[in-house]
Amino acid sequence: MKYKELSVKEFLDEVKEGNIDLEDFISEVIEEIKRINESFNYFVYISEEQAIAQAENIKKRIKKGENGGRLLGLPISVKDCICCEGIPSRAGSKILEGYIPPFDSTAVRKIKEEGGIIIGKTSQDEFGFGSFCTNVGIGFKIPKNPFDPERSTGGSSGGAAGITASLNYPHIALAESTGGSISCPASFCGCVGLTPTYGRVSRYGLIDFANSLDKIGPIGKRVYDCALLLSVIAGEDNMDQTTIKQGEEDYTKYLKEEKDEVKIGIPKEYFGEGVDERISKLILNVVGSVEGMEYEECSLPYTKYGVPTYYLIALSEASTNLAKFCGMRYGLHLPLKGDFNEYFSNVRSEGLGDEAKRRIILGTFARMKGYRDRYYIKAMKIRTMIINDFKKAFKKYDVLITPTMPILPPKFDELSKLELIQMYMLDLCTNPPNVAGIPHISIPCGKIEGLPIGMQIMADHMEERKVLVVARKFEKELNLSG
Ligand code: GLN
């Protein structure tokens, strides 16, 4: 049987029918990702042995007639910051060199329970600090865009999106977003990326970036793939007290729903200054071309505070989270020299990249006595206003639609010419929904200069269903998949 070109859904059906030799299949997939990785750097670790062992196990399970799991035999890649038992998990940082978690994160545990096979850890900006996957940790390689290797995959889940787009076998990626790290690379690589409501998916076993913002979510080739993986990983978890009480939900069943009329808000702040006009035009054309979509312009006046609010909160929280990496508990160790402060400084100086160091300094500053009220606390207050802005809009509209990224996937040499603030500003469409913790998806909606463009669909807290129904409707109409 030919495994290539099978969609996730077709593959899972074939496994149930007993038509797929899982060991053979997984070996073929591993060979292929090794080949792709040589030129594109999507994986920081390929867990070949574990994957084959898992495949053997599942084969035995099937032989015994246990062919229940919702992801039976399906290859799943995992962003490096999400812990997997027995597999190096370093959040893309040298400071976690040698760390092999003795446990699975809740999301990974659930995936394994459903028969998903972990094929490796995907590359990312160090700890998630970036939008282009160029801030990789010391010794890590920068992933390249599958459409043009001179361009960025987007970040920070660049490896996850890159391999999803490049791999011609059924696969879903487990990724993570703090301020846009699922949507951005999904958009630049032409994939679907779903960021769930904050608290929908357990963060247990995630190497934190910013605790009040981090969300684990899927990147897939199709809307169905994201809905399927979300169904598996979502749920309340005793190990993460910020998870929301919720029942089991099969998100794939919503994709069959035909909502008669969808009310769409087009927030004008996401189509103005800083956004490539060609992208704005494309998104508006797409929205206008689909029947049964009622849309009108609206305004979210607090949008302009999205980026500064995000960076203040994210950096403040990151600076406290990184304090635990001191070379004494886990990860990088150096020969003991000098007093604790000297040792600690040496470990951080050798283990962390420039952006991580910068964020520790800026975040610490924003939390310091005397500045705390002016920066961190103020950002928290503005966050509430951004949430209220969205809440007001969702009284009127089912979803809001915007571009995902304001520019085409950039070339590496273009990025190197940008000032830091200019880079941060490119998060202008993705920071606000992340700050608010609302669910959003990026789906491919066309190409400009042969490069994929993503469209962002956002809905109110816990309304993943609306996001998915609308995303599927566009996917079907645009004929992006069957
Ligand atoms: N680009 C944002 C940052 O640099 C968001 C990254 C993320 O979501 N991890 O912080």
- DSSP H or E segment with residue 65: none
Question: How far is the CA of 181 from the CAs of 188, 217, 264, 440, 441, in angstroms?
Answer: 11, 10, 24, 12, 12
Residues 6 or more apart whose Cβ sits within 8 Å of residue 349: none
pLDDT in tens, the chain (482 residues): 688 889 999 999 999 888 999 999 999 999 999 999 999 999 999 999 999 999 999 999 888 888 779 999 999 999 999 999 999 999 999 999 999 999 999 999 999 999 999 999 999 999 999 999 999 999 999 999 999 999 999 999 999 999 999 999 999 999 999 999 999 999 999 999 999 999 999 999 999 999 999 999 999 999 999 999 999 999 999 999 999 999 999 999 999 887 668 999 999 999 999 999 999 999 999 999 988 889 999 999 999 999 999 999 999 999 999 999 989 888 999 998 889 899 999 999 999 999 999 999 999 999 998 998 999 999 999 999 999 999 999 999 999 999 999 999 999 999 999 999 999 999 999 999 999 999 999 999 999 999 999 999 999 999 999 999 999 999 999 876 44
Q: Which position among 181, 187, 202, 280 bears the catalytic label?
A: 181
pLDDT at residue number 5: 86
Q: How many other CB atoms are found less than 10 A from the CB of residue 6?
A: 18
Tokens of 224: 């169905």
Pocket residue to mutate for ligand 1, from 184, 211, 213, most atoms within 8 A of Cβ: 184
- Determine the Cα–Cα distance for residues 332 and 17; give it in Å rounded to an integer: 47
| Strand residue runs (E) in 309-429 | 399-403
Burial status of residue 330 (CB atoms within 10 A of its CB: 0-12, 13-18, 19 or more): middle
Place of tokens 């995907």: 122
190: which DSSP letter?
T
Q: How many other CB atoms are found less than 10 A from the CB of residue 61?
A: 17
For ligand 1, atom 9, which residue shows the shortest CA distance?
128
Tokens of 100: 């092999």
Superfamily of domain 3-255: Amidase signature (AS) domain (3.90.1300.10)
Tokens of 377: 């606390």
Instruction: With CA atoms as reference, report the closest residue to 75 among 270, 204, 221, 183.
Output: 221
Instruction: With CA atoms as reference, report the closest residue to 215 among 179, 172, 164.
Output: 179
Distance of CA 9 to the CA centre of its chain: 21
φ, ψ (nearest 5 deg) of residue 453 = -120, 135
Q: How many other CB atoms are found less than 10 A from the CB of residue 415?
A: 17
**Helices (runs of H) and strands (runs of E) counted in the chain:** 16, 13
Q: Where in the chain is the domain with CATH 3.90.1300.10?
A: 3-255
Q: How many other CB atoms are found less than 10 A from the CB of residue 25?
A: 23
For ligand 1, atom 4, which residue shows the shortest CA distance?
130
CA of 268 to the centre of ligand 1 (A): 23
Ligand 1 contacts CB of residue 183 (under 6 A): no
Instruction: With CA atoms as reference, report the closest residue to 121 among 168, 152, 76, 165.
Output: 76
Q: Is 455 helix (H, G, I), strand (E, B) or coil?
A: strand
Q: Which amino acid is at 159?
A: G
79 noted as active-site residue:
yes
375: which DSSP letter?
I
For ligand 1, atom 5, which residue shows the shortest CA distance?
179
Q: Which position among 89, 156, 202, 316 bears the catalytic label?
A: 156
181 noted as active-site residue:
yes
φ, ψ (nearest 5 deg) of residue 344 = -60, -45
428: which DSSP letter?
T
Ligand 1 contacts CB of residue 179 (under 6 A): yes
Question: How far is the CA of 79 from the CAs of 14, 119, 126, 129, 218, in angstroms?
Answer: 27, 11, 11, 14, 10
- Determine the Cα–Cα distance for residues 164 and 184; give it in Å rounded to an integer: 14
- Determine the Cα–Cα distance for residues 104 and 101; give it in Å rounded to an integer: 7
